[in-house]
A and B are shown apart, each in its own frame.
Chain A
Amino acid sequence: MINHYLFQLTAFTYLLSMILYFLYIGTKKEVLGATGSWIALAGFGINTAAMVVRYVESHQLGIGYVPLSNMYESMVFFGWAIVGLNILFERFYRSRSLGAIIMPLGFLTMGVAILALSPQIKPLMPALQSNWLVYHVITSFLGYAAFAVSFGVSLVYLLKKTGREGNSLFPNHKALETINYKAIIVGFLLFTVGILTGAVWANYAWGTYWSWDPKETWSLITWVVYAILLHSRYTGRLAGRRMAYVSITGFVAVLFTYWGVNYLLSGLHSYAS
């Protein structure tokens, strides 16, 4: 199907962009960063087109649904959201170096999707036939993407050497911390809406807005980790390296909520095969 090829092309484009950003960081040549940026934008466009084409092709198969219903579709949307955030953060903070942090995450996501997940368009089970699926998945994954950015920024925060602040193209520690915090705020808001839309949907589908199934419980745990982070930062008790560690912990919780629950546990939510 055409959408498969477009997603594969997207992955290669993200890879190219990532390499250019790395070279930019290494050589400090502005033109490399600019090219990486444009390629990321192009990849984002291809990614968008791929999702639209997948939607159209699903209709051609007589099934017709918004492609957000399984691991493959959620991963390629996750990648799209991460790269979208890259474009936004780059514009907002006027720093091309962020691409070197965020594009690897976008590429990894696409890579895992096209290498490890089945791209087949399969008909939707009755439980998934609802508009709430769209609201719930979009907000949850936009939240995940912001948390992924926070994760990348926290890693760089921890790995970046202090002292020679002026030498590196990356923002200094203070700036990285601020970017991290802003990413978490955006992520937390979106992720909260994601959990809430999930609860409303569950009420229409299963008669109860919360049943403590592993997916719901882990999403709550993730939410609590970030809530603790936000509280501690607000009261001035969490900053610097410790905040970076807690951010990383939060993203580990995100990964468990997204992948761990589906493949390591069982329950109502495990739509993995």
Chain B
Amino acid sequence: MKTFLREIQGVFLSLKLTIFLLITIALVSIVGTLIPQRQEVGEYIEHYGEALFQLFDLLGLLNVFGSWWFQLLLVLLMANLVSCSLKRFPRLATLKSLTARERLGRLGPHVTHFSLIIILVGSLIGNVWGFKAFVNIPQGESVNAVALKNSNRMVNLDFTVRCDRFNVSYYQGSQTPKEYLSDLTITESGREVVKKTIRVNDPLQHKGISFYQASYGITPSRPGKSKAELEITPKGNGSKGYRILVAEGETKEIAGTGHRVQFAAFVPDFSLGEGNRIYSKSDQPNNPAIQVKIYQNGKLSFDGWSFLRYPDFHGSRDDTYRVKFLNYSGGGRPYTGLMVVKDPGVWVVWTGFGLLVLGLFLSFYFRRRSPLY
């Protein structure tokens, strides 16, 4: 028994095991980047065919980093690291015999390795005692439970999060989002305790749980419920335009002018398909567009599309009127998509990071003049 344990100890103390583990982890990780991870079954079958998909699934290659054997490799590496570090730690007598510089140089690698252990411990703490979840909160509503990312379970929060307002702003004349922000309020037992506007890169933290601005959307708009604000400028009127609010499907006269404006159609994500067919790429308001028809004396004198994001773009060559699509409301409600994370190990990880940099600096700044052997 004793020799068996000795043998096991010998394995863990070997540098050969380290190299083996590092190379194995590296190779397996490479596969994990070449094969898309954690996608839908259908996508794999479409891309690789049924046979390869079954093979990859069997070998666990579709969720490499979350698999038990990958975690095992990391644990083995950690055990190996701990064993080797303990074994090679210089004896107190040796340390005393060195100058201060030499001491720092000798300890450098140990600090480095210790820091790696700290980082792994920190991530372990986060995995076991923390969680990652997701929640969508429509504007004006509150939630007190979030959906765990990798399972169907919900996690209850002991407070409520309300989204007072969600807003996405775009860069002028483009579809590139400039900023997503959510005004969040946290209430406990009915009392408002925290209010914060979160953005990407600027989360809200409360009781160890962080809320990150991750995504957003609009609950699909029900047809016929939008209202649009337009600015109509008839040709020859100079820059004097008329503002008018029209509901979807409605035809309204601009007071006292004889121009009758119709909100003919609306698409939230305007796109041109084959043969210049107009369609909506999605139900998200990425490129809201309105079809406006204008009647003069009962006759149709204008029929064109205007775009919310491109107010100065006039696609229709008919310039009898200039139509600017200013704003719209109603229809679907915006919701904010939040990533919700609890990670009690994160400060352990940050400490590990700091020690890693320190350890590397000590190792190389105070390094020996010649190799060890």
Binding site for B on A (CB under 8 A): 62-63, 122-123, 125-127, 129-130, 132, 185, 188-189, 192-193, 196, 199-201, 203-210, 212, 214, 217-218, 220-221, 224-225, 227-228, 231, 233-236, 261, 265-266
Query: With A123-B174, A192-B357, A196-B357 as given contacts, are A221 and B339 in contact (CB-CB < 8 Å)?
Result: no
Of B32, B201, B203, the residue contacting A126 (CB under 8 A) is B201
* CB neighbours of A123 from chain B (8 A): 171, 174, 176, 178
Among residues of A, the one whose C-beta sits closest to the C-beta of B27 is A221
Instruction: Give Cα distance in the complex from A208 to B343, angstroms.
Output: 9
Listed A/B pairs (27) with beta-carbon separation below 8 Å: A62-B172, A63-B171, A123-B174, A123-B178, A125-B176, A125-B177, A126-B180, A126-B201, A130-B201, A192-B356, A192-B360, A199-B353, A201-B201, A205-B212, A206-B339, A207-B339, A209-B346, A210-B123, A212-B64, A217-B29, A217-B30, A217-B65, A218-B33, A227-B22, A228-B22, A231-B15, A266-B36
Which residues 31-51 in B have Cβ within 8 Å of A in the complex?
Answer: 32-34, 36-37
* CB neighbours of B373 from chain A (8 A): 235-236
Binding site for A on B (CB under 8 A): 15, 19, 22, 25-26, 29-30, 32-34, 36-37, 64-65, 123, 132, 171-172, 174, 176-180, 199-203, 210, 212-214, 339-341, 343, 346, 349-350, 353, 356-357, 360-361, 364, 371-373
* CB neighbours of B343 from chain A (8 A): 208
Instruction: Give Cα distance in the complex from A127 to B350, angstroms.
Output: 21
Question: Taking each of A185, A193, A207, which has the highest tally of chain B beta carbons within 10 Å of its own beta carbon?
Answer: A207
* CB neighbours of A221 from chain B (8 A): 26, 29-30
- 6 nearest A-B residue pairs (beta carbon): A126-B200, A236-B373, A212-B65, A214-B33, A207-B341, A236-B371
* CB neighbours of A266 from chain B (8 A): 36
* CB neighbours of A188 from chain B (8 A): 360
* CB neighbours of A132 from chain B (8 A): 201
Contact A209 B349 (CB under 8 A): yes
Among residues of B, the one whose C-beta sits closest to the C-beta of A131 is B201
Instruction: Give Cα distance in the complex from A167 to B132, angstroms.
Output: 63
* CB neighbours of B34 from chain A (8 A): 265
Does more than half of chain B's interface fall in helix, strand or loop, or is it mixed? Answer: mixed
Of A126, A205, A235, the residue contacting B179 (CB under 8 A) is A126
* CB neighbours of B357 from chain A (8 A): 189, 192-193, 196
Instruction: Give Cα distance in the complex from A172 to B91, angstroms.
Output: 39
Query: With A123-B178, A200-B353, A208-B341 as given contacts, are A236 and B33 in contact (CB-CB < 8 Å)?
Result: no
* CB neighbours of A125 from chain B (8 A): 176-177
* CB neighbours of B213 from chain A (8 A): 126
Of B202, B349, B360, the residue contacting A189 (CB under 8 A) is B360
Question: Taking each of A203, A225, A233, which has the highest tally of chain B beta carbons within 10 Å of its own beta carbon?
Answer: A203
Instruction: Give Cα distance in the complex from A201 to B199, angstroms.
Output: 14
Give the shortest distance, in Å, between A155 (CB) and chain B (any CB): 23
